[in-house]
Structure 1
Amino acid sequence: MPVADNLHYFENELRGTPARLVAVTKTHPVAVLQEAYDAGGRLFGENKVQELVAKQPELPADIEWHLIGHLQTNKVKYIASFVHTIQSVDSLKLLQEIEKQAAKHNRVIQCLLQFHIAAEETKFGLSLPEAEEILQSPAYQAMRHVQLTGVMGVATNTDDEQQLRHEFGLLRSYFEQLQARYFADQPAFKEISMGMSSDYRLALAEGSTLIRVGSAIFGARNYGNAG
């Protein structure tokens, strides 16, 4: 099916839920992203800084770009002038660099705390005590150019629905605990980014507000295009 039809399918799936669609664009060329934009897509997620920096100037300025892949501190400077949300914050050191680079551009960058919820050690993310340590730190509390708006997690790559439900429920419980303890008076702290092409219905049932879908919209990834 054409990109436009795929995009509309997922937007219809999310209608009536609190969730928004993040069209994951990694390895896909600008022309294909433009198709998604022309079909109404405005929220794009990119995994790699190099690709994001290459694509952003080639596409309309009103796209809300989310960086969803692991981010090294030395690469924050390349995206700080335009990125809307960094979903993959997994350390105080990274948050401090985002604050520093956002300040240079006199803007606020929204961020999600990434939690490790999968049974796979290869995935990145914080534990709940590590996240609380960040939130209690004087360094975080002094930040003025970073706004934490929720949490993100990558579930195990499995067909076991019970395990996926457990992992999504775990992330939701982390969100609820942080919301109650640190963000009770901050309505902007509202995002739970979880669920992808294969498991988004389970994620929606557990309260996801951001569904990350790539291959089911754009087709199989073409790694020949990956920079």
Structure 2
Amino acid sequence: MNNLEAVVRQDSHSATPAEQSSTPEMAAAASAAEGMAAAALRSVLQRVNQAAERSSRQADRIRVVAVSKTKPVPLLRQVYDAGHRFFGENYVQEIVEKAPQLPENIEWHFIGNLQSNKVKPLLTGVPNLAMVETVDDEKIANHLDRAIGNIGRKPLKVLVQVNTSGEESKYGVEPSGVVELAKHVRTNCPNLEFCGLMTIGMPDYTSTPENFKTLANCRTEVCKALGIAEEQCELSMGMSGDFELAVEMGSTNVRVGSTIFGAREYPKK
């Protein structure tokens, strides 16, 4: 467990709310945890700004999604209290549990593989879901479109996930199928708003430039086919290990988890 999470859990479980507010040690622990979370967030935002400057881009056009996978709600709350509003989750169960415990003005991004039977729980459980970044075939696009129509909520922003690395372990449509899937979303899914493309680079970060170039090339083809400007088509690429490079190569949306929240903690089997 990283230091920040340990402090938060100790603070939230070892005293009542009244004791927490009145015990100097608890107040100091909470302050230290908040400082670590806020500092990590500020560092990431500063690095994004610097990467934007290096590539002659406007930093305010780049969204940082704080990915809170496996992290407890108190940690998210501290990042929220530091002024951040964009959060992402990989699993439906986690986002459905966390979202109701946090302010409604958070813009949630779902960034994991989405199964058809999880579409309705996701949409009904997270009314402030802002975007699904992982639409990778017509089937899931159709499920989302129908479910949104049945619920009666406003159109949902989506990105088409592209497997730019060619790895069998990765989800995403092949680059050759991107245009067809983007057309399907735009033409046949009135309850979805096509907003761009997403990819996950290879674990070997020396390979990610090629992955990012592939996604940028896919955007060029999609925008030409749909008759839209490239500025209207987002690129979601870049994570904790390569988000600066991604910004320099045109990313408009980076997904940063461990650099903000610390290493992920999975339950021991």
TM-score, reference length from structure 1: 0.91
Q: Distance in 2 between matches of 1:149 and 1:172?
A: 14
Q: Given the alignment, which residue of 184, 194, 197 partners 1:151? A: 197
Question: Out of 65, 88, 99, which is 2:145 matched to?
Answer: 99
Aligned length: 221
Equivalent in 219, 237, 255 of residue 194 of structure 1: 237
Give the gaps of 5 or more residues in structure 1: none
Q: Which letter does structure 1 place at the counterpart of 2:156?
A: I
Q: Which has the larger radius of gyration?
A: 2
CA drift of 1:140 comes to: 5.4
The 2-side partners of 1:165 and 1:219 are apart by 25
CA 58–183 in structure 1, closer or farther in 2 if over 3 Å, else same: farther
Q: Deviation of residue 220 (structure 1)? A: 0.9
SS in 2 for 1:220: coil
Instruction: Give the counterpart letter for 1:4 in structure 2.
Output: A
Q: What TM-score do you get using the length of structure 2 for normalisation?
A: 0.77
Q: In 2, distance between residues paired with 1:180 and 1:171?
A: 14
- Give a deviation string over 1:59-99, Cα, whole Å, max 9, x none: 00000000001110110101224221000000000000110
User: Any residues of structure 2 matched to 1:174-193 within 5 Å, and which?
Assistant: 174-184=218-228, 189-193=232-236
Identity %: 34
1:133 CA displacement:
2.5
1:126-145 mapped onto 2 (5 Å cutoff): 126-137=173-184, 141-145=187-191
* Alignment correspondent of 1:27: 70
Q: Which amino acid aligns with 2:168?
A: E
d(CA) in 1 for partners of 2:121 and 2:133? 16
Misfit runs of 4+, over 3 Å: none
Find out whether 1:110 has 2:153 as its counterpart: no
More displaced 10-residue stretch of structure 1: 215-224 or 48-57: 215-224
One-letter code aligned to 1:77? K
Distance in 1 (alpha carbons) for counterparts of 2:209 and 2:144 = 32
Q: Tell me, in whole angstroms, the C-alpha distance in 1 between the residues paired with 2:220 and 2:79.
A: 33
2:39 alignment counterpart: 5
- Give the structure with the larger helix fraction: 2
Q: What is the CA–CA distance in structure 2 between the aligned matches of 1:143 and 1:219, rounded to whole Å?
A: 38
8 Å CA contact 1:92, 1:140 repeated in 2? no
Measured against aligned partners, the alpha-carbon deviations of 1:100-146 in whole angstroms (never above 9, x if no partner) come to: 11112222110000000124220011123322223444x85132210
Post-superposition Cα deviations, 1:46-69, rounded to whole Å, max 9, x if no partner, equal: 000000000010000000000001
CA contact (8 A) 2:133 2:158 kept: yes
What is the aligned partner in structure 1 of residue 168 from structure 2? Answer: 121
Counterpart in the other structure of 1:48: 91
